[in-house]
């Protein structure tokens, strides 16, 4: 069972496991993935995405297997909540203000060739954009993976036209490696997706193919829904 008390603390935020057993988490996810800004990001991919969950029970079902992986490996989604100064995480468990999710994915799909370094993802409700919260959450999660699992290299994948995400990668110190087909980033699909690739801590002469960042053994590329990696 996911530890409900696990959390990472930043100056303004808490990150904790996105927990399918927690109704408040699932209710927030339904709101998040049906919000106009996220629907627009999905639409930008021109992909046939499965419809987003419309209820707590649908969200729970969609996220059950991801929770098992999160528990075993730490790889998966973390929910971001506002931190109230001078209050313990456990003291305010009843009534949190959730802003979005941040994810760290490694070997996302057991049967598909996936990138060998963890990749970071993010999704915030629009009312929390432009305040530095996404950067704060991403930096904290990368630091956590560095301290607890020794990761020094990170990747980021997004749709080539997702300007906001790419600005965030740049703010986080990632380098732009251009647009390419990458396998193992689309939910339940062995096809490679054409994505903008950003990396951090990877030397410029490293062949990204050696890190599993490439078309893999999948089928021809498609403009798949990169957002599915966050919601599936
Ligand atoms: C991508 C996304 C998370 C970026 O959010 P963001 O709020 O722009 O990112 P940050 O947290 O880094 O915020 C930086 C902005 O906050 C401002 N800011 C305000 N107060 C700040 C503070 N205390 N500290 C740091 N920055 C602050 C910065 O000046 C910057 O503003 P600017 O963009 O006008 O220069 C957001 O656009 C989003 O959720 N989009 C939809 C989902 C999506 O596309 N996900 C990716 C799918 S692959």
pLDDT digits (tens, 9 = 90+) for 186-207: 655 667 888 999 999 999 999 9
Per-domain residue ranges for the chain? 8-231
CATH, domain 8-231, list 3.40.1180.10, 3.40.630.30, 3.40.50.720, 3.10.20.580: 3.40.630.30
Compute the distance between CA of residue 13 and CA of residue 78 in angstroms, rounded to an integer: 12
Nearest atom in ligand 1 to the alpha carbon of residue 162 is 44
> Does position 181 have pLDDT exceeding 60, yes or no?
yes
- Give the model confidence (pLDDT) of 145-175 as tens digits: 999 999 999 999 999 999 999 999 999 999 9
The residue nearest atom 20 of ligand 1, judged by CA position, is 131
Task: Pick from 130, 170, 182 the residue to mutate for probing ligand 1's pocket: most ligand atoms within 8 Å of its CB.
Answer: 130
According to the model, what pLDDT value does residue 125 have? 97
Which residue owns the Cα nearest ligand 1 atom 42?
123
pLDDT at 65 over 90: no
Q: Compute, in angstroms, the gap from residue 72 CA to the centroid of ligand 1.
A: 30
Q: For ligand 1, atom 37, name the residue with the nearest CA.
A: 164
What is the rounded average pLDDT of the residues 33-39? 92
C-beta of residue 67 within 8 angstroms of C-beta of residue 79: no
Output the pLDDT for position 90: 77
Q: Are 222 and 215 in contact (CB under 8 A)?
A: no
Residue having the nearest C-alpha atom to atom 13 of ligand 1: 132
How does pLDDT run across 103-143, given as a tens digit for each residue? 999 987 777 778 999 999 999 999 999 999 999 999 999 99
pLDDT bucket at 227, cuts 50 / 70 / 90: very low
| Residue 202, pLDDT score | 98
168 C-alpha to ligand 1 centroid (Å): 6
- Atom 22 of ligand 1: nearest residue by CA position: 132
Q: Is the pLDDT of residue 59 over 80?
A: yes
């Amino acid at each position: 069972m996911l530890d409900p008390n696990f959390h990472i603390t930043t100056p303004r935020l808490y990150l904790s496991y996105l927990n399918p057993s927690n109704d408040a988490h699932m209710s927030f996810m339904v709101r998040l993935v049906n919000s106009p800004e996220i629907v627009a990001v999905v639409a930008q991919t021109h992909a046939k995405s499965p419809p987003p969950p419309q209820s707590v029970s649908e969200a729970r079902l969609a996220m059950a297997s991801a929770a098992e992986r999160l528990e075993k490996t730490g790889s998966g989604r973390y929910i971001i909540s506002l931190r109230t100064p001078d209050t313990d995480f456990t003291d305010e468990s009843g009534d949190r203000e959730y802003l979005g999710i941040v994810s760290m994915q490694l070997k996302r799909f057991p049967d598909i060739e996936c990138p060998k370094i963890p990749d970071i993802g993010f999704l915030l409700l629009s009312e929390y954009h432009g305040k530095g919260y996404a950067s704060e959450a991403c930096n904290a999660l990368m630091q956590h993976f560095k301290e607890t699992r020794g990761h020094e290299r990170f990747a980021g994948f997004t749709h080539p036209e997702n300007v906001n995400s790419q600005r965030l990668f740049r703010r986080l110190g990632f380098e732009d490696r251009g647009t390419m087909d990458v396998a193992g980033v689309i939910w339940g699909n062995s096809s490679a997706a054409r994505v903008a690739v950003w990396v951090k801590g990877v030397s410029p002469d490293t062949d990204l193919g050696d890190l599993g960042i490439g078309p893999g053994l999948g089928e021809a590329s498609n403009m798949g829904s990169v957002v599915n990696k966050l919601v599936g």
